[in-house]
Amino acid sequence: MSDMIVLNDVTKSFLSDRSIKDKDGKPHWFTAVEPTSLTVQQGEIFGLMGYSGAGKSTLLRLINLLERPDSGQVIVDGTDLTTLSASDLRIARHNIGMIFQQFNLMSNRTVFDNVAFNLTVAGYPSADIHKRVMDCLEIVDLIDRAGHYPAQLSGGQKQRVGIARAIAPSPKVLLADEPTSALDPATTRSLLTCLRDINEQLGVTIVIVTHEMSVIRRLCDRAALLHQGQLLEVADIRDGLIQATTTIGKGLVHED
């Protein structure tokens, strides 16, 4: 197994709201990610777990540089993304798919066009786009919805379009930012199965952010437990038991 994603001492802070000042009167910087290092193996499903404000979404967004770290390295598939030029970063991003809690589909394009769009962006040969879109819609079982607009779909279907769109250019990595948080339990289960299948059949490495322990338990091989911007520990889940050693980690794990 090789390393697919390596985060080396990454940090990220944001400028707070103007009304919050430090004691010296300067604007307050809120630290979302304390120095954090972690490694995700190729083919793994890796969870980022924590309460609200733990910095898990920010950490995920550092992986494709939607947020640029203040310091540290972000190495994906052997390349340090922080050193790339804008155009090389765009090319590297074709290799990192992403799905979102709010789906973020283009509402004025059909399901087919949403998926095709990502292929066009990734420079996929236009003659092959139709077949590739249909293949991807087949994987997420939405062939019959190709001509629909997102507004005509249920939440679970929208997220499956999101998945089809993300995996269309055959990325090596799929980032999932709370993909089931807007969905009901039954839809969540079928979506997790879909993600599991994609991981097994296509060998895509998946990093998933969630606050739901049940999602981690069903889906992940390993999970990082985060609290207030700090990585508490990385728990192995493959044996079905989650062993957390820190107090907060135990609290997270035994929540539900």
Partner 1 sequence: MLTGAELSASIDKLLALRKEIWQAFVDTFIMLGISTTVAIVIGGLFGVFLFLSSDRQFLQNKTLYGVLGAITNFMRAFPFVILMIAMSPFTKAIVGTGIGPIAASLVLAIAGSFYFARLVEQNLREVPRGIIEATESMGARPFTIIKVLLNEARSGLVLSVTILCISLLSFSAAAGMIGGGGLGDLAIRYGYYRYQTEVMVFIVVMLSIMVIGIQASGNWIAMRLDKR
Binding site for partner 1 (CB under 8 A): 64, 66, 89-94, 96-98, 100, 102-109, 117-118, 121-122, 149-151, 175
Closer CB to partner 1, residue 51 or residue 100?
A: 100
What are residue 225's phi and psi, to 5 degrees?
A: -100, 125
Closer CB to partner 1, residue 46 or residue 124?
A: 124
Type of residue found at 65:
L
Closest CA to 105 of 60, 57, 155: 155
Closer CB to partner 1, residue 165 or residue 227?
A: 165
Closer CB to partner 1, residue 94 or residue 211?
A: 94
What separation in angstroms does the CA of 52 have from each of 57, 83, 92, 185? 9, 30, 29, 20
**Least CB distance to partner 1 at residue 85 (A):** 13
**Least CB distance to partner 1 at residue 179 (A):** 13
Handedness of CA 53, 57, 60, 65 (dihedral sign): negative
Instruction: Say how far apart CA 176 and CA 97 lie, in whole Å.
Output: 8
What are residue 203's phi and psi, to 5 degrees?
A: 70, 20
Query: For 169, which DSSP code?
Result: T
Closer CB to partner 1, residue 116 or residue 216?
A: 116
Q: Which two tokens stand for residue 76?
A: 């994906």
**Least CB distance to partner 1 at residue 161 (A):** 11
Closer CB to partner 1, residue 44 or residue 67?
A: 67
**Least CB distance to partner 1 at residue 247 (A):** 35
CB 198 within 8 A of CB 173: no
**Least CB distance to partner 1 at residue 61 (A):** 9
**Host H or E run for residue 34:** strand 29-41
* 190 CB-near residues (< 8 Å, 6+ apart): 156
Closer CB to partner 1, residue 117 or residue 221?
A: 117
- The neighbour count for residue 129, using CB atoms within 10 Å, is 17
